[in-house]
Amino acid sequence: MIAHPDHSVKAGLLLASASPRRRELIKLLGLSVETTSADIDEVPLPNEQAADMARRLSREKALAVARHVRVPPSPGFIILASDTVVSLAGEPLGKPRDAAEARSMLGRLRGRTHQVYTAITLLDLQTDRALTDLADSDVPMRNYSDEELEAYIASGDPFDKAGAYAIQHSGFHPVENFSQCFANVMGLPLCHVVRSLRQLGVEAGNDVPTLCQAHISYACPVFKSILASGA
């Protein structure tokens, strides 16, 4: 069950995620945010494509959280759920269960380009309106050495991440020549969130592209086109 304060939920967002990366990024919106987690089965359906899987799971997470909200929502109160799927040659790669699986995933990804899909679902509990948006990025992995791979596995970082890696990891640096939405690969494409919130009549309280680029030390070449496509 979701633990809410005793008072009514204020207008703002309820982020349905236990991911520390998402909880870190969501603060850049400048909106009131509460956090919880959604307990759903994240197993792919037979023959399910990665993009479809991300969309489905983000919607299921939002609905799972909505079923447990125990206080009347205030106007503007929105659930935000997100799901990220790493896809290599059409095969979804989940979170590794152990070091052997992490080693296999990282070995297969090495020196190749794969795709990362993050779907976000916004659910306005006052109106029952739901929006789902999808970010996708091509991610070129560098040709890291076996020694680098093993050191990264030994750090423990791969085990709670789809595809067994974090693009932002300062020691491993798994990706090279990347030129798309960095926050998407981290798990929460903020400009997609901004443009979806606008469709629900909600404006972010901050200059999100500027703060996002400063936060992750990345000059994003695609934020203008993402925001413009939602106009």
Residue 7 lies in a domain: no
User: Which tens digit of pLDDT belongs to each residue from 58-100?
Assistant: 999 999 999 887 665 566 689 999 999 999 999 999 899 999 9
Q: From residue 84, how far is each of 80, 116, 172, 204, 214 by CA, in Å?
A: 14, 7, 20, 22, 23
- Which domain CATH number covers 171? 3.90.950.10
Residue 4 lies in a domain: no
198, 33 Cβ separation under 8 angstroms: no
Residue 83 lies in a domain: yes
**Of the candidates 53, 18, 204, the residue with the CA atom closest to the CA atom of residue 136:** 53
What's the average model confidence in pLDDT over 189-200?
Answer: 96
Residue 133 lies in a domain: yes
Q: Is the pLDDT of residue 3 over 60?
A: no
Residue 19 lies in a domain: yes
Residue of 83, 124, 133, 136 with catalytic role: 83
Q: Give the domain extent around 64.
A: 13-229
Residue 185 lies in a domain: yes
Known catalytic membership, residue 138: no
When divided into structural domains, the chain yields a total of 1
